[in-house]
Structure 1
Amino acid sequence: MKRILLSIAVIFGTCAFAQEKKSDSTKTKNIEGVTITKQVFKKQSDRLVYDVASSPIAKGNTTFDILKQTPLLSSTDDKTLKIAGKNNVLIYINGRKSNMDAESLAQFLKNTPAENIQKIEVITVPGSEYQVESSDGIINIVLKKKMSDGLNGNMRFSNTQGKYNGSQASFSANYRKDKLGISASLSGGENIEAQTYTLKNSSDSSSNESTGDIDDPNKNIGGYLNIDYQLNDKSNLALSWNTWANKSYNSTVNLFNTIIAPQKEPKYTWSKNKEDARSYNNSLNLNYELKTDSLGSKLNVNASYLNYKKFQYINNMTYNSNINREVLGKSTQLIQDLPQVINNFSGMVDYIQKFKNDLTISVGGNYNKTKTDNDTKNDTFVFGPPPVFDPKPNHFVYDENIYGFYITAEKKFSDKFSGKLGARYEITNSIGTSDNPPSDAEALKRIERNYNNFLPYLSLNYAINDKNNISYSFSSRMRRPSFWELNPVRNKLTDDNYTQNNPFVKAASNYNQELMYMYKNSYFVVLNHSYIKDAITQVPLQGYPKHPNDVVEKNLALRYIRTNFGDKQEMSAMVGIQKTFFKQYWTTNFSIGVQHNRNNGSLDIDPTTGDRFVDQKGNPLTYVNNINSTSILIQTNNTIRLDKAKTWFLGVNFFYIDKQQIELGMLRGLSSLDLSIKKNWNDWTFALNVNDVLRTNIVVIDDYQANGNYNYVHQNQYRRDLTVSLTYNFGNKKLKKVRDIEGASDSIKSRTR
């Protein structure tokens, strides 16, 4: 039910202009008459570095707060982070990807004091050494080192009131003694994700409208355990275990449907769907690190196992009704049993060789073997007369093997000029088989894919002088489909409205270019161009389905098809500022920019069934999106210190996204005003947050086709809510953190979500 409609990823950029005063982007200390000035922000060859330890706003904040104050980073939901508006951002800690799931990671960042952080690195265009799923950027958090042994940790409790009430609690602890380090966390909570939908589609004089609510209760618990042991001065061994479980029982959909067709009485029905689902995600990673010289050269070896299980039972009921919305008799029933089991074995080897002439060579490879098992059952009942029972089981098994190799060379030619050149080569072999495919999808019996990808990378950085820096990056990446996208099941919303996954979806290719200019390490200008080939998205096909045997269905239908939909270009220009004013009382991250989207795609057939869509006269209908759009984008995050003692803080955050063309149509403008107040008292932090104060963060999409088709989506996810939180930090605040290790299966894990 969570994927029963569509997942709308709003891509927006951020940028800004600002008045120029005496630069506060540096922190000045007077030591016995000697003035030492240290840069807070600086640009390196392939990344932007924010020196948190020298920042005037670090004290009293959390890691998440600091991340939102970092140039090019933003958050529109106070849960996820974006780099220049890009959504698929990966979080690394000490150069290794965090093994925590998204929810646990958000809590970890919100509960980790900023005083523990040395610096934050923002990699907008990832290099060849990073696996291809990291196409939209990486945030690397570098923790402080040379800290004493001991125990520390924190506890956090929060309660959120939106349409429904939700709560969450977490506990984490870190222990270090000599060569042994242990880090552990446990968190859990419950909430109800509420949505209200209005869906409209029409063709000729026929129309179909569905309105109603979706309520999705969730209970979850999870955590992680990291054990790091220093074998000797040159080598370390680490074991990491992550786990997460989610239970979503009695999730409901209640939609009232109105169907209008020529020369027929309007038809009214109720779609009342109920879903019980639960999922489990466990991963185990073993890491060995060997330092090979005093310059920093090292060998890294990882071996991982990932097990993911999800079980869904859905009861889709359709009832006859009338204009007064009274429930009459049963019409149809669809019972779906949709289990999915994923097993992955992964290995990864990286070697970094550093030379005295400021040259670094990195080579490595990875191997992933994944098997997904989807033994689905679809039983349809039609309550006559005469009654009809139509069972359609389908056992779909997908096997995938990925081999990856890379090499990069990074060179500092002078104090002003540096560059990085690399390439990655990936081999993908996959086979999808179906023991009992639907009769209208015989092509699903065996789907074999073998393809290779060569992915070059280039990054150049030039420091013109102490105040001006310019850099250029080019990267070619891939986006493989998630495993749930490949499972050929239909997620039914109403009798005539459903989503269709697609095992024929292939990997999309991404080509990114970025030109960045920074002035005084506070002001920046970013020009970006992205070209996406075979973009993976959902496409609405509507009309009267015409099967390969030329039989045409009588009812107007709408199917959201997961597929590769042509090519897409995104171009953006942004200017921004990250600066502190008024003796560190006001810190702002403000940006404004413009984004231009070019879409070029068309679809006229359901690739899983071969169905085409026609109008009442039998004329073929093709969904086309070749519309361009230009949008204004604004993002600002502000922290205002309210007292001299630095204990009270006011937060004012705002974003605005102008209307823009996406794959499903024209997305209307979005905005949100978020306010917060925080009090630091010894080891306690009290906070109050109000999100979407003006209730303007509501998704509305319109789509008009030249053939007369119209599609409309109104999605209210009740973003306005109030959260009260309490955090307590205990123990030795100077504790050395356990190494966070990137699991060999991390790129695979991201495809389970």
Structure 2
Amino acid sequence: MKTPILIAAIFFSGLAFAQQKKQDTAKTQNIEAVTLKKQVFKKQSDRFVYDVAASPVAKGNTTFDLLKQTPLLSTTDDKTLKIAGKNNALVYINGRKTNMDTESLTQFLKNTPAENIQKIEVITVPGSEYQVESSDGIINIILKKKMSDGTSGNMRMANSQNKYNASSASFSVNYRKDKLGISANLNGGENIEAQTYTLRNGNSEYSNESVGDINDPNKNLGGYLNIDYQLTDKSNIALTWNSWANRSYNSTVDLFNTVRAYNPDTQKFETNYTNSRNRENARSYNNSLNLNYELKTDSLGSKLNLNAAYLNYKRFQFTDNGTWSQDSFGNYTVLDQRVIQDLPQVINNFSGTVDYIKKFKNDFTVSLGGNYNKTKTDNDTKNFTYDDNGVTPTPNHFIYDESIYGLYLTLEKKFSDKFSGKIGTRYEITNSLGTSDNAPSLDLRRIERNYNNLLPYLSLNYAINDKNNISYAFSSRMRRPSFWELNPVRNILTETNYTQNDPFVKASSTYNQELTYMYKNSYFLILNHSLFKDVITQVPLQGFAKSQDGTVSKKSVLRYIRTNFGDKQEMSAMLGVQKSFFKQYLTTNFNIGVQHNVNDGTLAIDPTTGDSFWDKDGKQLIYTNKRNSTSIVIQTNNTIRLDKNKTWFLGVNYFFVDKQQIELGVLKNLMSLDMSLKKIWNEWTFALNVNDILKTNVVEIEDYQSNGNYNYIHQNRYNFGMTFSIVYNFGNQKVKKVRTIEGASDDIKSRTR
């Protein structure tokens, strides 16, 4: 069945269950007017709180759109969310981490209406009780409380147009009867992710330019089922199942390559043209099951929480990559190199967590708990290379086993109405073993690592008076490599250009400090410093590759190697305001800041093969990044009410990220102007969004090395486009939501992408 038919079925089948609800419009408007006068944005202990319950920003938007307009949050690729001064953002719902991998979570947020959200909490420095990595922050979505029995739900249908057309739909329903609650969601869609790609690299004697298009068609189908049952007045049990499937068939990369090399015999430059074509079929499945038990142990809020979970992730990927030269007729039919790869990956994870929170009458709270994760990844890669030497098979069966044991203790005390503090620590033990039956070197056949980490945490909060608040937080974290980063496979782009994953990548450490000042719960200043040790990133190595036996490649190559690349510091200062003006006709969220990056990394040897890189004169080429950069960041989101009845709204959003030094070189400035028009009519909301109106959200990275090598990347992802969406809410809107549960395997899911 074609996806557009499926989308229509999801949407219109929901209409059959829709219940017409009569509303007193005047009464509703009065309630909204009162709610809007509350403190919309404020600082609470270790988090920022954005109250959107009655705000027009939420109406008709998706949850992802709402998060993009939340203070301190942003996105530059319309896929991943970032917190100001942080690398990544983890999404929680009602204090529990979402039980999805990155891809399915993004689609879920984009297909979920935002009407049911009460508030959004932004935790920039998470405490020891959270299982997060590196400099990750947390976005905690708090749903509205609904108390009565009955059925409610919503439907959303959207169509987008940028380079290609895309469509999506979702249907959600909530049911509650006495002690039983059931929540279910079904969503699907299809789209083609398109890019125009330019890659230039080389030096004064050699250059390569690859220009072309990348088209990746995707069909998605996913959903969840949550069942929550109240055993007694003090205990609950819940079962959660999440499922997501993606199919990407006939994904294509078509690049025209221009190679220009100096010939010392003729003392002239010679130019050679080739065509690289890649065809890929891939599909992936993600299923997870989580069982939760919660017991309230006293009237003060003390409770015990137990979780057991199973996660199964499968990805099957088949690629056919060839580089072709011209024949005598000018057609690209002469095979230079062809590589066929079969790249399956299977991940199984068993997890368990125990958390106990003990509250005392003197505003003192003790939290302690532990977690266990057992993960096995199986990567049975088959690689066949066709060239002048015939066919060269290079199979590699890589298996990675990992066990993580974690314990934490947190002490929190409210000393007075003005002063409170939290101190804690997390202790983690990691044992891992990677084995390969046909690795290119003996060092890659067996890689065993055993290490432990003590990760302290401290936060202090002081309310000077009703208008002024100041807080400080320190956190130590680590980042383990994703499972795909450890799988030693090559993703080939052209004959001489590929990316290489690295089983030698080890965990990196991060130390975060943050000082925050807030005035009148509307204006804020955030000072942040982060130190990264053994940064996990991708590093370009180029030149004539020399193996350990002395063999030198015939052509200059460019390899993007995943590895640990030195240390890095990030320092930032952010000024912001979140406030309504002109009797709430204008609501604005404005941030402006400056960020200073200090990079210190050097790489001379390919860690996966031991190859070194040389120029034609016999000089070794080393990639270095010992550079600093200072950049400006601006973000503003504005909602303008166009009528007195609060039914028409105009949105104007803009972000600007100044050029900055990253591991691959200098990332040039990015900016985007987005606009939206929204109409609210009873239970229906119609919205039109136009993204990247100026077509300025294009990635450009360039790097020049002191040894003469240069590297340039231009990536146009066609962010300019329009989306029209329809949202309908039906049923008893006071239905109590099913209790959202944190899965025991949630910290593993983020590493599958």
Q: TM-score range with shorter-chain normalisation?
A: over 0.9
- Paired with 1:583 and 1:355, the residues of 2 have a C-alpha distance of 43
Q: Partner of 1:149 in structure 2? A: 149
Q: How far is 1:442 from its partner?
A: 2.1
- Paired with 1:420 and 1:324, the residues of 2 have a C-alpha distance of 74
Cα deviation, 1:311-338, whole Å, max 9, x if unaligned, reads 1111111111389973132222111011
Q: Partner of 1:398 in structure 2? A: 400
Q: How far is 1:117 from its partner?
A: 3.3
Alignment of 1:494-573 (within 5 A): 494-573=494-573
- Paired with 2:519 and 2:328, the residues of 1 have a C-alpha distance of 64
C-alpha contact (below 8 Å) 1:276/1:314 kept by paired residues: yes
Q: Structure 1 75/639 Cα, relative in aligned 2: closer, same or farther at 3 Å?
A: farther
Q: Partner of 1:587 in structure 2? A: 587
Q: 2:372 aligns with which of 349, 367, 370?
A: 367
Q: Partner of 2:123 in structure 1? A: 123
Q: Structure 1 751/654 Cα, relative in aligned 2: closer, same or farther at 3 Å?
A: same
Q: How far is 1:112 from its partner?
A: 5.5
RMSD: 2.1
Q: How far is 1:140 from its partner?
A: 1.3
C-alpha contact (below 8 Å) 1:311/1:338 kept by paired residues: yes
Alignment of 1:656-735 (within 5 A): 656-735=656-735
Q: Partner of 1:316 in structure 2? A: 321
Q: How far is 1:63 from its partner?
A: 4.5
Q: How far is 1:92 from its partner?
A: 1.1
- Paired with 1:656 and 1:689, the residues of 2 have a C-alpha distance of 19
Give the partner amino acid of 1:721.
G
Give the partner amino acid of 2:86.
K
Q: How far is 1:135 from its partner?
A: 3.5
Q: Where in structure 1 are there 5+ consecutive unaligned residues? A: 1-28
Q: Structure 1 580/483 Cα, relative in aligned 2: closer, same or farther at 3 Å?
A: same
- Paired with 2:379 and 2:284, the residues of 1 have a C-alpha distance of 14
Q: How far is 1:265 from its partner?
A: 3.3
Percent same amino acid among aligned pairs?
Answer: 75
Q: Structure 1 702/134 Cα, relative in aligned 2: closer, same or farther at 3 Å?
A: closer
C-alpha contact (below 8 Å) 2:35/2:54 kept by paired residues: no
Q: How far is 1:483 from its partner?
A: 0.3
Q: Partner of 2:391 in structure 1? A: 389
C-alpha contact (below 8 Å) 2:370/2:405 kept by paired residues: yes
Cα deviation, 1:597-655, whole Å, max 9, x if unaligned, reads 00000000000100000010111110000010000110000111111111111110000
Cα deviation, 1:2-45, whole Å, max 9, x if unaligned, reads xxxxxxxxxxxxxxxxxxxxxxxxxxx999xx999853333222
- Paired with 1:472 and 1:599, the residues of 2 have a C-alpha distance of 25
Q: Partner of 2:409 in structure 1? A: 407
Q: Partner of 2:178 in structure 1? A: 178
Q: Structure 1 392/652 Cα, relative in aligned 2: closer, same or farther at 3 Å?
A: same
Q: 2:300 aligns with which of 295, 299, 302?
A: 295
- Paired with 1:202 and 1:116, the residues of 2 have a C-alpha distance of 53
Figure out how many residues of one structure are paired with residues of the other and give that number: 718
Give the partner amino acid of 1:489.
V
1:431 aligns with 2:436: no
- Paired with 2:385 and 2:116, the residues of 1 have a C-alpha distance of 57
- Paired with 1:510 and 1:45, the residues of 2 have a C-alpha distance of 22
Q: Structure 1 682/134 Cα, relative in aligned 2: closer, same or farther at 3 Å?
A: farther
C-alpha contact (below 8 Å) 1:119/1:142 kept by paired residues: yes
Q: SS in structure 2 opposite 1:637?
A: strand
Q: Structure 1 557/536 Cα, relative in aligned 2: closer, same or farther at 3 Å?
A: same
Give the partner amino acid of 2:407.
F
- Paired with 1:130 and 1:332, the residues of 2 have a C-alpha distance of 49
C-alpha contact (below 8 Å) 2:112/2:170 kept by paired residues: no
Q: Partner of 2:344 in structure 1? A: 339
C-alpha contact (below 8 Å) 2:599/2:663 kept by paired residues: yes
Q: Structure 1 62/134 Cα, relative in aligned 2: closer, same or farther at 3 Å?
A: farther
Q: SS in structure 2 opposite 1:261?
A: strand
Give the partner amino acid of 1:431.
L
Q: How far is 1:139 from its partner?
A: 1.4
Q: SS in structure 2 opposite 1:223?
A: strand
Q: Structure 1 134/297 Cα, relative in aligned 2: closer, same or farther at 3 Å?
A: farther
Q: How far is 1:180 from its partner?
A: 0.5
Q: Partner of 1:282 in structure 2? A: 287
1:605 aligns with 2:605: yes
Q: How far is 1:550 from its partner?
A: 1.1
- Paired with 2:481 and 2:212, the residues of 1 have a C-alpha distance of 30
1:258 aligns with 2:263: no
1:654 aligns with 2:654: yes
Q: 2:422 aligns with which of 414, 417, 420?
A: 420
C-alpha contact (below 8 Å) 2:88/2:137 kept by paired residues: yes
- Paired with 1:274 and 1:674, the residues of 2 have a C-alpha distance of 34
- Paired with 2:319 and 2:654, the residues of 1 have a C-alpha distance of 39
Q: Partner of 2:94 in structure 1? A: 94
Q: Structure 1 102/550 Cα, relative in aligned 2: closer, same or farther at 3 Å?
A: closer
Q: SS in structure 1 opposite 2:609?
A: coil
Q: Structure 1 436/274 Cα, relative in aligned 2: closer, same or farther at 3 Å?
A: same
Give the partner amino acid of 2:299.
S
Give the partner amino acid of 2:377.
T
Q: Partner of 1:160 in structure 2? A: 160
Cα deviation, 1:47-78, whole Å, max 9, x if unaligned, reads 12233347686666664455444332234455
Give the partner amino acid of 1:364.
G
- Paired with 2:558 and 2:380, the residues of 1 have a C-alpha distance of 26
Q: How far is 1:111 from its partner?
A: 6.0
Q: Structure 1 319/95 Cα, relative in aligned 2: closer, same or farther at 3 Å?
A: same
- Paired with 2:693 and 2:521, the residues of 1 have a C-alpha distance of 33
Larger mean Cα displacement after TM superposition, 521-530 or 329-338: 329-338
Q: Structure 1 329/242 Cα, relative in aligned 2: closer, same or farther at 3 Å?
A: same
Q: Structure 1 603/412 Cα, relative in aligned 2: closer, same or farther at 3 Å?
A: same
Q: Structure 1 310/98 Cα, relative in aligned 2: closer, same or farther at 3 Å?
A: same
Q: Where in structure 2 are there 5+ consecutive unaligned residues? A: 1-28, 264-268
- Paired with 1:36 and 1:336, the residues of 2 have a C-alpha distance of 57
C-alpha contact (below 8 Å) 1:368/1:745 kept by paired residues: yes
Q: How far is 1:93 from its partner?
A: 1.3
